[in-house]
Amino acid sequence: MNQAHLDLVFLWHMHQPDFRDHATGEYVQPWVYLHAIKDYTDMAAHLENHPGVKAVLNFTPVLLDQLEDYADQFASGTLRDPLLRLLGHPDLYRLDASEREMVLSRCFKANHHKMVQPYPAYRRLWDFFVLTQQPGSAGESYLSAQYLGDLLTWYHLAWLGETVRRRDPVVPQLQAKAQGFSHADRMQLLELIGREVSGVMPRYRKLAEAGRIELTTTPGHHPIGPLLISFESAREAEPSMPLPKSQQYPGGRTRAAAHIAAASRSHTARFGGPPRGMWPAEGAISQPFVDLLAEGGCEWIASGEGVLVNSLRKGDAALPARADYLYHPYRLSGGRAAVTGFFRDDRLSDLIGFEYSKWHGKDATAHFIGELEAILEANTEGARQVVSVILDGENAWEYYPYNAYYFLDELYARLEAHPRIRTCTFADCLDAHRQATPLPSLVAGSWVYGNLATWIGSADKNRAWDLLCAAKQSFDLVAASGRLTAEELALATGQLADCEASDWFWWFGDYNPGSVVAQFDQLFRLKLAHLYRLLKLPVPTELDVVVSRGGGQTEMHGAMRRAS
């Protein structure tokens, strides 16, 4: 009888780009605190409730910066997020037109099937709003201050994690009231949000100190490292890929190394020591970038199955059976150092990310366990396998009933009790001295389709790179001139890192929803403009021109993508 055992590593990746306008200190979008009160709280609670489950939790430095900034806002009472200020506004009758517009345009941004329709009072608010949009009606002038207060309240109630609504008595009290919320009601909710946001990282820190999770990070502001180093890396997986007019990103290798170093410093300052491994942004790796990660002290990295497949097929080599190549670590050459690479099971990861939300929680769990057991049964040699399930830990759950409460609770309970499946971390795998197979060569790519086309290649993505390259050239000239003080140069360098984030390029493209593309397009150009101002240079008129308009309809509104 097959007695093989299997190690299962969950890596839950938490990331939001910097939504602050650093010229004003104001937040442009509320997604950091909304995901904090819904997803980061729930994911911590499920791990707290299942002490037999281990996982890797990846928090990007730029996300941690913002979580700490929100905690500071609540502690000081000075809110720099306009939507939170509106929630706590003492007199909604006095809102100006732009504030009313913000409430109405933002407070229905949620999965309507799972987050609006289940609540009759919230659904009625939506129905009223739809009526105001009818031709010939008096429109939004009919929507009173009380309506706005109820809408603000229900929006934030809907965004609360399922574990929060089951734990905190404020939530059922407000839900039972349903309408006519007072300023005192809204302040109760605002205080709850402050407690939850401020408590997120202490909870994960406690789990890590207990050895329950491995905390890890991503280079700096989440850039696509291979592209910073060389645009040509995009052609390793896609030889005909159109590239930007700029031949390369100026000083890209130095900038990639700076993001790695910044992440290590951030992790050390926050968690008492450097990370043992990193999840490169979007699992995007190339050999030169791996060299930098190894030199930066990384013991392990992870990427997508497609990258491994492309690398094994290099030179028209025959691809072994999937079970023979996917479920063990690889040794990736790292110049003077070396690093262990783990590769994502794309199918299992995408089942959680995209498919199980449509299933009953127990059925989804049974299917997932069955898939793992099939991998076990196919292991005739008995070597201990490592299955890596890596995905976004925040965007998938709003498509599940109850924010995936029943699915995750059942899944963790079944895994705790399974005699042959052990949840562990990548650090555990290293400590067990698991033998790593040398990977002869590496083809640059990411977890999305195994290539880098999500961030380069289309006309608008390439134009964005050219705008960034021009800004970097200006940065280099000003930095070399000595015209900036040390403090001014540090501010400009931080703004440059913000502009180098992957997120702007992710959203550019005609396949993404136009309304979302417009938000990221405006924010990217705003950030570049602020960089020029910090350099004491005029803002180029090119930044007045829209980079990308979008217009498509993608699964999950473009926030997540399947691996293939």
Amino acid at 151: L
Q: Is 272 exposed, middle or buried (0-12, 13-18, 19+ CB in 10 A)?
A: exposed
| 22 pLDDT above the threshold of 80 | yes
Rounded average pLDDT over 218-244: 98
Instruction: Report the helix count and the strand count for the chain, using DSSP H and E.
Output: 23, 12
pLDDT at 234 over 60: yes
pLDDT of 555 reads 57
pTM of the model: 0.96
Pairing status of strand 6-14 against strand 421-423 = parallel
Judged by DSSP in three states, 267 sits in helix
Average per-residue pLDDT for the chain: 95
Is residue 59 helix, strand or coil?
Answer: strand
Instruction: Report the candidate in 79, 83, 81 with the shortest Cα–Cα distance to residue 99.
Output: 83
Task: Please give the pLDDT value at position 136.
Answer: 63
The yes-or-no verdict on residue 338 having pLDDT over 70 is yes
Largest Cα separation within the chain, whole Å, is: 74
**pLDDT over 80 (residue 353):** yes
The answer to whether 139 and 174 have CB atoms below 8 angstroms apart is no
Residue 267 has pLDDT above 70, yes or no: yes
Query: How many angstroms separate the CA atoms of 468 and 224, rounded?
Result: 13
- CB burial of residue 284 (10 Å; 0-12, 13-18, 19+): buried
User: At 476, is the pLDDT very low, low, confident or very high (cuts 50, 70, 90)?
Assistant: very high
Comparing CA positions, the residue from 367, 415, 366, 386 lying closest to residue 323 is: 386
* Confidence bin at 302 (pLDDT 50/70/90): very high
pLDDT of residue 137: 62
Band (471; pLDDT cuts 50, 70, 90): very high
Q: Report which residue type is found at 341.
A: G
176: helix, strand or coil: helix
Q: What average pLDDT does the segment 136-159 reach?
A: 90
pLDDT 10s digits, 389-431? 999 999 999 999 999 999 999 999 999 999 999 999 999 999 9
Q: Tokens 């400590």 sit at which residue?
A: 431
Backbone angles phi, psi at 363, to 5 degrees: -65, -40
Q: In this predicted model, which residue has the larger pLDDT, 518 or 137?
A: 518
What pLDDT is attached to residue 441? 93
* Confidence category of residue 31, pLDDT binned at 50, 70, 90: very high
**pLDDT tens digits, 43-79:** 999 999 999 999 999 999 999 999 999 999 999 999 9
pLDDT at residue 477 greater than cutoff 60: yes
Helix (H, G, I), strand (E, B) or coil at 188: helix
Residues 6+ apart with CB under 8 A from 274: 264, 267, 268, 297
Per-residue pLDDT band at 189 (split at 50, 70, 90): very high
Close Cβ partners of 492 (under 8 Å, ≥ 6 residues apart) = 475, 478, 479, 484, 531, 534, 535
Q: Of all helices (H) and strands (E), which one includes residue 341?
A: strand 337-343
Q: What's the rounded Cα separation, in Å, for the pair 522 and 524?
A: 6
The residues, any chain, with a CB within 8 Å of residue 136's CB and separated by 6 or more, are none
Task: With cut-offs at 50, 70 and 90, classify the pLDDT of residue 550.
Answer: confident
pLDDT at 334: 58
- Evaluated on CA atoms 430, 436, 442, 443, the torsion sign reads negative
345 band by pLDDT with thresholds 50, 70 and 90: very high
Specify the pLDDT at position 61: 98
Q: How many CB atoms lie within 10 A of CB 370?
A: 10
* Sequential DSSP letters for 545-558: S-S-------GGGG
Which pLDDT band, with edges at 50, 70 and 90, does 1 fall under?
Answer: very low
Residue 138 scores a pLDDT above 80: no
- Chain centre distance of CA 222: 9
- The tokens for 88 are 């706590």
For 2, phi and psi rounded to 5 degrees? Answer: -70, 120
Reported as type and span, the H/E element at residue 264 is helix 252-271
